[in-house]
Structure 1
């Protein structure tokens, strides 16, 4: 029971302490809100209202000021009083224990203080804005007034620099000054909202007029001074060049000059309409036209001297190429009597000769035009440059053709020597085989021999033709040389196989009675040798049998054979046996 009482006492103490702490917190917040309200009261809204009230505002600006006065009256006469009452009541209630009511009243008064502070700040900001706008507008009045005075002085003092644009510029300036008067009146009356609209357009129009005044003089100077001086110079230059018999081909220089003059006149109207951007585009086009005319005349003047210097050199170049062409055609005609020209050398040489004829024709026309003072120097110079380029290429082609056919006679002589050597080698191989006195020759060998013999015969026939195709002859020489090398190998095989087979058959006689397998192999090998002419097979048959009864016998006999013969054992035979 005592414990319960103690617990109740402790709980009461805790609650009491908590209430005291909360009351203290409420009183601190009341103090903070009171301080914030006093800071709002300290703002000199009354002084600022008095200052703005002296601006003689009208229209929308006056309506805005009146609303600010109403807001100020609401703040001072209603809101501040309510705040004081609510804060006093809250401070009084903070001694009680109705915590929920205290919290609700604190929330309400906090909201009222914050809203009032925001309203005070808004009123102050708008008052400052009205003062700033008034200041800016009055400064704008002074600035624009000075600017228009300067613009008018510029137009009066330098009206010659604007040409036909002066009337339009003065009219624009007059319109601006009229609008400026309206802006000044609205500013003085204090109707700053309407004045702001007028000022925005006025500033834009003033900037545009300043841009026009800055852009037009240089354009007008080009149209009245720079371009006319250049046109005059071009006319005088053309007259002088025409008197010196310069020609300009399809370039109508007088027409180009007249066209530029018309553009100059037309563009002056563009300035009258105050369209400098369009006038600038046309001026650029006129400048390019004039530059083109200068280039046309300068090109002809620059071309005259090199044309005269090139005449003799080009003439000699053409003559040299023609002599080369004549010699080449004669040489090709001579060679074509004895040789077949397989790469259109003669046709190409004739085409080159035709090109030379055209080059010379153009050159002669240019010479006549120069003599008759009707030549366009730039065209003649272009012809000369192209002619030198073409002539150089033609002479290189002529040299290539001559080089390609220059060795035909030497090639023919070498081919005949080689043919003679082929014929000698073929007869030598035939005698070598005949000297063996064999019972017969293998058909495979004979077939290959006759093929090579026919190839040599065909080569001889082709060499005896009135026109020799050396390219075909060269290919035949290569083929025959390869086939002869193969025939030599086949002949060596035939000789070696037959000779060794005979020696081994004789050596095997010592084993005829003692070894039946050797006797049988000898009989088979003899049949292959005497009746079938298969000498390599006969050698293989008897050699195999001998190796069975006397290992190493074949190699010993074979080595002795090649030693007597004085040649190395062929690798193919070494491979077969090894």
Structure 2
């Protein structure tokens, strides 16, 4: 037992040694990775890049940044990387002694240190690249900007007369740009490339803005000083001419609007003098929209006058037509009432037309007085006239619809009479078919539908002969008659088919009557049903008896009957 215990202890020790060896190997692998990372950081080309920049003549902001970069790199090399080396030594020592927890803690600290060093180096290299790039970009871009500057200066010199009072502001802007070029040269000569870069960026924006002003100002000046004042003058002249012709324009407040716009033009002239084009562009758009509205208002007055001249004279004639039509409707309604029963309220419709017409004539009389007085705006008068005309058209349409309704009553009566005659012809045709088919007698259910159809047809006739005629009642009886006759037509076809087929099946089954007692009994029952006019039962009994001895016989009989 004691031997087993010793063996177990030895096995456990061996397992622990193996596990420890595996963990140590894993940690040694991490130590190698961190060592390689540290060496890679030491080999970064920071010194070479600093050397390139050191050759430049640096002052001011550029020199301050260079000193900061150099101090940061010196700190990395003299302090932070040696600290990283100490961390590596501690991690290796803890790993050798199987103190894995401490080794992991030191490893995490070293990871953080190396990451911070990485970030610092990335910042240094990025800013160095930006500095070197700034010098190269500045040289290229400043030449391009100087060409633009010379071009703008030449353009303003030649076309100075196109810019009016704004030329002073444009020249001031040009002088400011020239001063910026001088400041750029000084900064570059002194080696302050980063501040020089900021000057280049500012020059790019200022020159672009000045180019836009130079391009747009002549057109804006023309709009403010020539085009828009001319349009306002045209509106004033149009207003004066229209007043001379008798137009009433006080409600438009044109004078107030034009004065407001003239004042706005003065304000935007001040903006032009300062070469502030954004405000002027927005203002011009707003003034144009308002001028367009004034043109529209004057044009509406002209159109309104033309409308009054065109339609004023025809209104009286339209009223006369409505009166005449209404008299005809009243007469027609009285005639129709003698023969037809009108719905509730229909008798009052001609009176309602007359009342509406009377009110509308009074309204038009007031309008006509205003037109004759000639002291109201044509737009107001024309709108009122349009409403009167629309109401006249509405009444005319309603009169036409009611007239058509009265005419429809007579039409519906004729159609109902024609339809009921057609139903009678269908009934007669069904009787002829039954007689021709030698049907011995009619089943009770068929006779019942037949009698009902005749009754409904008689109801239609009665309702058509009533005075006054109620077409709603006529239509109701007619619908019942049509449905019943259609149903009777279907039953007639079934009846004749059942009679003929039952006879054929009984005749066909007679060949089996003597040989098969079952067939004889079945045919006997079929014949009894036939004599009782139950042809469908007769067919079922006969077919069952024959099919028992000759399956498929019924289909053959139906085929023979169909061919006949």
So what's the TM-score if we normalise by structure 1?
A: 0.49
Q: How far apart in 2 are the matches of 1:491 and 1:182?
A: 117
What does residue 295 of structure 1 align with? Answer: 296
Residue aligning to 1:279: 280
TM-fit CA distance, 1:291: 2.0
Q: After superposing the two structures, state which structure 1 stretch, 204-213 or 291-300, moved more.
A: 204-213
1:159-182 deviation digits (Å, cap 9, x = unpaired): 9x533x4554454455445x1684
Offset, 1:220: 3.4
Alpha carbons 1:325, 1:349 under 8 Å: kept: yes
For residue 403 of structure 2, what is the aligned residue in structure 1? 402
Q: SS of the counterpart of 2:275?
A: coil
What are the ranges of 5 or more consecutive residues in structure 1 without an aligned counterpart? 1-56, 65-125, 431-439, 499-516, 548-571
Q: Structure 1 residues 271, 361: CA separation in 2 closer, same or farther (over 3 Å shift)?
A: farther
Distance 1:331 1:191, change over 3 A: same
Q: How many angstroms does 1:471 deviate by? A: 4.0
Relative to structure 1, is the Cα distance of residues 349 and 285 closer, same or farther in structure 2, using a 3 angstrom cutoff?
A: farther
Contact 1:459–1:476 (CA<8 Å) still a contact in 2?
yes
Matched, 1:162 2:155: no
Match of 1:552 in 2: none
How far apart, CA to CA, are the structure 2 residues paired with 1:203 and 1:492?
A: 100
1:233 corresponds to which residue?
A: 234
1:194-244: per-residue Cα shift (whole Å, max 9, x none)?
Answer: 795597345654554454345334333433333233323322322332343
* Paired position in structure 1 for 2:96: none
Cα deviation digits, residues 261-311 of structure 1 (max 9, x gap): 232233233334432111111012112211221221122223423431222
**Equivalent residue runs for 1:122-201 within 5 Å:** 140=146, 144=150, 151=156, 158=161, 161-163=163-165, 165=166, 168-169=169-170, 171-176=172-177, 179=179, 182-183=182-183, 186=186, 191=190, 200=200, 201=202
Whole-Å Cα distance in 2 between the matches of residues 385 and 350 of structure 1? Answer: 25
Residues 1:258 and 1:344: Cα distance change in structure 2 (over 3 Å):
farther
The answer to whether the 8 A contact 2:304-2:378 is kept is: yes
1:331 paired residue number = 332
Alignment of 1:125-524 (within 5 A): 140=146, 144=150, 151=156, 158=161, 161-163=163-165, 165=166, 168-169=169-170, 171-176=172-177, 179=179, 182-183=182-183, 186=186, 191=190, 200=200, 201=202, 204-206=205-207, 208-247=209-248, 251-341=252-342, 363-378=364-379, 380-381=381-382, 395=396, 398-406=399-407, 408-409=409-410, 412=413, 444=445, 447-448=448-449, 451-452=452-453, 454-456=455-457, 458-459=459-460, 461-463=462-464, 465-477=466-478, 479-480=480-481, 483=484
Q: Give aligned pairs, total.
A: 410
The answer to whether the Cα contact below 8 Å between 1:340 and 1:467 also exists between their aligned partners in 2 is: yes
TM-superposed deviation, 1:246: 1.9
Alignment partners' CA distance in 1, 2:526 and 2:198: 134
Question: What's the offset of the Cα at 1:453?
Answer: 5.6
- Answer whether contact 2:456 2:478 (CA < 8 A) is retained: no
In 2: Cα distance, 1:277 partner to 1:208 partner: 11
Distance 2:246 2:444 in 1: 92
SS of aligned partner of 1:406: helix
Which residue in the other structure is 2:67 paired with?
Answer: none
In 2: Cα distance, 1:326 partner to 1:270 partner:
73
Contact kept? 1:168, 1:273, Cα under 8 Å: yes
Q: CA deviation at 1:480?
A: 3.2
Cα 1:354–1:247 shift into 2, 3 Å = farther
Cα 1:418–1:241 change in 2 (3 A) is closer
Q: Using the TM superposition, give the Cα deviation of residue 367 of structure 1 relative to its aligned residue in structure 2, in angstroms.
A: 3.0
- Name the residue aligned to 1:34: none
Q: In the aligned structure 1, how far is the partner of 2:494 from the partner of 2:366?
A: 77
Using the alignment, how far apart are the partners of 2:405 and 2:147 within structure 1? 97
Give a deviation string over 1:94-132, Cα, whole Å, max 9, x none.
xxxxxxxxxxxxxxxxxxxxxxxxxxxxxxxx9xx99x9
Paired residues of 1:270 and 1:278 also in contact (CA < 8 A)? yes
Query: Does structure 1 retain, via aligned residues, the 8 Å contact 2:443–2:533?
Result: yes
In structure 1, how many angstroms separate the alpha carbons of the residues matched to 2:468 and 2:391?
34
Q: How far apart are the structure 2 equivalents of 1:446 and 1:138?
A: 112
Q: 1:345 to 1:186 in 2, by over 3 A?
A: same
Report the 3-state secondary structure (helix = DSSP H, G, I; strand = E; otherwise coil) of the residue aligned with 1:232: helix
The SS at the match of 2:468 is coil
Q: What RMSD in Å do the two structures reach over aligned CA positions?
A: 6.6
Describe the shift of the 1:341–1:140 C-alpha distance in structure 2 as closer, same or farther (beyond 3 A). Answer: same
Shift of the 275–527 alpha-carbon distance from structure 1 to 2, 3 Å rule, reads closer
Question: What secondary structure does 1:265 align onto?
Answer: helix
Whichever of the two has the greater Rg, that structure is 1
User: For the Cα contact (< 8 Å) 1:141–1:184, is it kept in 2?
Assistant: no
